[in-house]
Amino acid sequence: MKLAFKLPICAVGAAALSLAGAVAGSRWISATESQAATATVAAVPASGDGTLFTAFVSVLRNPRCMNCHSQGDFPRQGDDGHQHAMNVRRGPDGHGVTAQKCSTCHQEANLAGAHMPPGAPHWGLPPPNIPMIWQGLTDAQICRSLKNPKENKNRNIDQLVEHFTKDELVAWGWNPGEGRNPIPMPRDEFVAKVKQWQAAGAPCPSDTAQKAKS
Ligand code: HEC
Ligand code: HEC
């Protein structure tokens, strides 16, 4: 709303300055500056169109995230998202079944060496009653699921953004251990994009003309 209200005023202001500039040559500099400022404002995507969300959804779709936010009752491994070896299961709380807890192999940090278990504090899957599955959803569906208190463990937008920007399992995606590809988008760029989305009221894309991706 604020943006839509401000833009015409800027445009009028720029036009007025240009006019004044035509009269007094010395005013041209401020006219140019004013136009540049208008262009910067206009480059920020309008809220409500969902592009602020799709600007960072590639991170959520990256295997470093999807391997824990995928369909099925088990974690996945590798860039191809194959089922976790040794028949590891989600278990009643997401941390594995009694005989095979995640923490038996996964520590609080990555273990050195190829094919050694990666690690971060609280390593595990979301619990079966709130599985936080994004695989197979459209961008719009992922967005709505993230914002739905029933599917995100009662987080409001601020808490959701806090998780995106500070949680240790999320941060692990940029430091995944030997032999695994980190998320390509720099982490500070991801954080900035998430905050832009938050500032615009966390708009979701519309569902129209968009097919589910893997
Ligand atoms: C018996 C040991 C063991 C148990 C138990 C185990 N893991 Fe793993 N996990 C591993 C090893 C080893 C790797 C690395 C495999 C590789 O790099 O080839 C791995 C890799 C992973 C990865 C892959 C990361 C990526 O992006 O490629 C995820 C995700 C994962 N485990 C989740 C879990 C979860 C969640 C649990 C508990 C529900 C769990 N694991 C239980 C040994 C285990
Ligand atoms: C080792 C498994 C694992 C990995 C890897 C992982 N997550 Fe999660 N994620 C979880 C678990 C477990 C929860 C539930 C924790 C909770 O609710 O407190 C969760 C919850 C979330 C939530 C909370 C809200 C919701 O609705 O889903 C977000 C957002 C999230 N993860 C984002 C990410 C992103 C982004 C990445 C990759 C950069 C990622 N996760 C990687 C296990 C993982």
Distance CA 202, CA 179 (A): 35
Q: Average pLDDT for residues 173-177, to the nearest whole number? A: 98
One-letter amino acid at 12 equals: V
* pLDDT the model gives residue 42: 46
Are 138 and 207 in contact, with CB atoms under 8 Å apart? Answer: yes
Q: Is the pLDDT of residue 188 over 60?
A: yes
Distance CA 160, CA 202 (A): 10
How sure is the predictor about 191, in pLDDT bands with cuts at 50, 70 and 90?
A: very high
Distance (angstroms) between ligand 1 centre and the Cα of 51 equals: 33
Query: In angstroms, what is the C-alpha Rg of the chain?
Result: 23
Candidate from 22-31, 41-50, 187-196, 200-209 with smallest mean pLDDT: 22-31
Distance (angstroms) between ligand 1 centre and the Cα of 118 equals: 7
Distance CA 129, CA 158 (A): 23
Distance CA 139, CA 172 (A): 23
Distance (angstroms) between ligand 2 centre and the Cα of 141 equals: 16
Distance from chain centroid for Cα 69: 13
Residue whose Cα lies nearest atom 1 of ligand 1: it is 105
Residue whose Cα lies nearest atom 3 of ligand 2: it is 68
Counting every residue written for the chain, the total comes to 214
Mean predicted lDDT score pLDDT of the chain: 84
* pLDDT the model gives residue 17: 42
Residue whose Cα lies nearest atom 41 of ligand 1: it is 102
